[in-house]
Amino acid sequence: MVSIYNRPSMLFDLTKCIACRACQVACKRWNKRPAEETSLNSDPATQWTNPPRLSSNTWRLVKYKLTYDEENDEVTWTFIPYSCMHCNDPPCLPVCPTKAIYKRDDGIVHIHSERCIGCGYCIEACPYKVRFFADDGYFGIKSIYKCTYCLDRLDAGLEKTACVQACPTEALEFGEYTEMHEKARQRAKAVGGYIYGDEAPLQRGSDIGTASVYVSKAPFEELGFPTEEQRISAPFVMERILLERGGLAIFGLGVLSFLGFALWRRERIGRAKMRELSKE
Ligand code: SF4
Ligand code: SF4
Ligand code: SF4
pLDDT tens, position by position, 197-216 = 998 877 666 789 999 999 99
Give the CA dihedral 172, 177, 183, 187, nearest 10 degrees: 60
Closest CA to ligand 2's atom 8: 27
pLDDT single digits (tens) 148-187: 999 999 999 999 999 999 999 999 999 999 999 999 999 9
What average pLDDT does the structure give for the chain? 85
91 Cα to the center of ligand 1, angstroms: 7
In angstroms, rounded to a whole number, what is the distance separating the alpha carbons of residues 110 and 129?
15
At position 144, the amino acid (one-letter code) is I
Tell me which H or E stretch contains 97.
none
Q: In this structure, are strands 8-13 and 212-216 parallel, antiparallel, or unpaired? A: parallel
Report the pLDDT averaged over residues 226-250: 70
Taking 60 as the threshold, does the pLDDT of residue 266 lie above it?
A: no
In angstroms, rounded to a whole number, what is the distance separating the alpha carbons of residues 98 and 79?
37
In angstroms, rounded to a whole number, what is the distance separating the alpha carbons of residues 154 and 157?
5
Q: Is the CB of 174 under 6 A from ligand 2?
A: no
Write the DSSP symbol of residue 156: T
Q: Is the CB of 188 under 6 A from ligand 1?
A: no
Taking 60 as the threshold, does the pLDDT of residue 260 lie above it?
A: no
Report the pLDDT averaged over residues 242-262: 56
End-to-end Cα distance, the chain: 47
Report the pLDDT averaged over residues 85-98: 94
| Lowest-confidence region among 75-79, 119-123, 138-142, 196-200 | 138-142
Domain boundaries, the chain: 8-88+147-234, 245-280
30 Cα to the center of ligand 2, angstroms: 8
pLDDT-derived band of residue 3, with 50, 70 and 90 as boundaries? Answer: confident
Q: Is the CB of 150 under 6 A from ligand 2?
A: yes
8-88+147-234 fold: Alpha-Beta Plaits (3.30.70)
pLDDT-derived band of residue 139, with 50, 70 and 90 as boundaries? Answer: low
Q: Is the peptide bond before 235 cis (omega within 30 degrees of 0)?
A: no
155 Cα to the center of ligand 3, angstroms: 24
Per DSSP, helices labelled H in the chain are 22-31, 121-125, 151-155, 162-166, 177-191, 228-233, 237-244, 248-279
229 Cα to the center of ligand 1, angstroms: 16
Q: Is the CB of 62 under 6 A from ligand 3?
A: yes
Tell me which H or E stretch contains 64.
strand 61-69
pLDDT-derived band of residue 143, with 50, 70 and 90 as boundaries? Answer: confident
In angstroms, rounded to a whole number, what is the distance separating the alpha carbons of residues 230 and 247?
23
